[in-house]
Amino acid sequence: MDEKLLTILHQVKERQDELIDLLETLIRFKTPAPPARNTEDAQKFVTEFLQEKGFCIDKWDVYPGDPNVVGLLKGTDPEQHKSLIINGHMDVAEVSEDEEWETDPFTPIIRDGKVIGRGAADMKGGLAGALFAIQLLHEAGIKLPGDLTFQSVIGEEVGEAGTLECCKRGYTADFAVVVDTSDLHIQGQGGVITGWITVKSKKTYHDATRRNMIHAGGKLHAASTIEKMAKIIQGLQELERHWAVMKSYPGYPPGTNTINPAVIEGGRHAAFIADECRLWITVHFYPDETYEQVSKEIEEHILAVAKGDPWLRENPPTFEWGGTSMIEDRGEIFPSLEVDSVHPAVHTLMNSHECILNEKAIVDVSPTVTDGGWFSDAGIPAAIYGPGDLQNAHAVNEQVSIEQLVSYTQVLLKFIYQWCHTQK
């Protein structure tokens, strides 16, 4: 291994107190989402941190009080060398009043070799590791030939499109690593899309007309939208079962591709027949499927169900898919991500992991979703690779192991160094 690289890899361990300090600093910024709109100070910290290390900064408000930060460290020979995006979200899961934390979730403590605080695992640990790796490369005077982009985004916990906004702004690279919670596994993910199914009557009827619409000789061709929605829910269950039987993906238990009727809203008052009913569904799909594909399958199936009903046939349900925020417009999309295990960057990352940890790298799938799918959606090869485990993400007394964080930082440092030195 390169002598210089070896020296700074040792420094990660020797200077681990600085790494822990950095993580504690990040945890102290109170950035829970919801309520969100609270990342300005944390993002300013990242901005200054990256500027000191020679990065050019692009910082813009995705929402007021929630800016994205993208730092670009131009390579010395970018035409000839591979480029990299490191991506992480600055928001953390909400802390509800009744959670019994040992201490204040935003005042980190260290105990038994662990840092405890909101975001330690999801995912300020990953951010701290990546930033510390960048700091050590900078201090050692190492100039990377390939471009390095660091994205500190907002809103991931509430399905806000911080990472999508970066992609839309044109940021791209030969590979992206999302440093979210993966317990040092190299992971892809299935996807999630939420949707609203609405059944609406063209006319509103008084409660007293019910006899006419349901009994012999009533001669009123009308219906309760709540009762018609029951039929649609049954249709969704049939499709869900069909998917469970027919679809699978290595690493997932069969039936992981669920359609959850999560929220139902309908009717206006007990004196009326329900003239509108809305169902909010959450759809989980496999890494080799797209959200466009699964939403189309659901629409086709439900419209076929509607065709079998004399009233729904004339009043077919309508669909509204996705959204850019669970807070603003009650909808979200997390595209899926397939990791290409023969991609040279994945190979380099596996190699770094094996070299530092002396164990075989695991390439598998995340049981949850991250922003990783947006890179796949934008055509950028990517993987999730971060410290911390999912038992700790969003948990009371959330924590990350210091030993794992140090190893993680070493792996990522070596990976950044090697990938950005790789010839195109």
Q: Which stretch binds Zn ion (CB under 5 A): 118-126, 135-143, 202-210, 327-335?
A: 118-126
**How many residues of this chain interact with Zn ion, rule: CB under 5 A?**
3
- Report CA 333 to chain centroid distance, whole Å: 9
Sites for Zn ion among residues 126-145 (CB under 5 A) = none
Active-site hit among 24, 122, 147, 156 = 156
Residue 372 Cβ, how far from Zn ion at the closest point, in Å? 10
Q: Residue 363 forms beta bridges with which residues? A: 186
> For residue 148, what are its two tokens?
């390095």
Q: At what angle do helices 125-139 and 3-14 cross, to 10 degrees?
A: 130
Q: Does residue 160 contact residue 185 with C-beta atoms inside 8 Å?
A: no
Alpha helices by DSSP H, 288-362: 291-307, 310-314, 344-357
CB of 324 to Zn ion, least distance (A): 17
Judged by CB, which is closer to Zn ion: 95, or 213?
95
The active-site residue, picked from 24, 91, 160, 180, is: 91
Residues 283, 287, 289, 291: is their CA dihedral positive or negative? positive
* Between 50 and 153, CB nearer to Zn ion: 153
Nearest to Zn ion of 180, 289 (CB atom): 180
- Could you tell me the smallest distance in angstroms from the CB atom of residue 194 to Zn ion? 18
Q: Taking the complex as a whole, how short is the minimal distance between the CB of residue 399 and Zn ion, in angstroms?
A: 15
Minimum CB–partner distance for residue 370 and Zn ion (Å): 6
Q: CB 368 → Zn ion: shortest distance, Å?
A: 8
By the 8 A CB rule, do 389 and 183 touch?
Answer: yes
| Min CB(313)–Zn ion separation in Å | 44
Dump the DSSP string for 186-237: EEEE-EEEEEEEEEE-SS--BGGGHHHHHSTT-------HHHHHHHHHHHHH
Considering only residues 160 through 199, tell me which ones interact with Zn ion, judged by CB under 5 A.
180
Give CA–CA dist 413/9, Å, rounded.
Answer: 8
Residues in region 296-325 near Zn ion by CB under 5 A: none
**Residue 299 bears catalytic tag:** no
Quick one: DSSP state of residue 264? E
Q: Which of 66, 91, 122, 174 binds Zn ion (CB under 5 A)?
A: 122
What does 272-300 look like in DSSP terms, one character per residue?
B---EEEEEEEEEE-TTS-HHHHHHHHHH
From 66-74, 119-127, 246-254, 255-263, span contacting Zn ion (CB under 5 A):
119-127
Nearer to Zn ion, 180 or 332 (CB): 180
Cβ nearer to Zn ion, comparing 8 with 115 = 115
For Zn ion, which stretch binds (CB under 5 A), given 123-131, 138-146, 192-200, 314-322?
123-131
Q: Which of 123, 137, 184, 277 binds Zn ion (CB under 5 A)?
A: 123
The per-residue b/e assignment along 349-375, b for 16 or more CB within 10 angstroms, e otherwise, is bbebbeebeeeebebebbebbbbbbbb
Sign of CA dihedral 414, 366, 399, 38: positive
Q: Which is nearer to Zn ion, 122 or 389 (CB)?
A: 122
Query: Which range of residues in 97-105, 121-129, 228-236, 263-271 is near Zn ion by CB under 5 A?
Result: 121-129
Residue 91 binds Zn ion (CB under 5 A)? no
- Told to judge if 98 belongs to the known catalytic residues of this protein, a careful annotator would answer no
Give all strands of the β-sheet with 114-116 in edge-to-edge order.
Answer: 109-111, 114-116, 399-401
Closest to Zn ion by CB, 24 vs 180, is 180
Exposure letters 90-119 (e unless 16+ CB within 10 A, then b): bbbbebeeeeeeeeebbebeeeeebbbbbb
Residues annotated catalytic, as ranges = 91, 156
Interface residues with Zn ion (CB under 5 A) are 122-123, 180
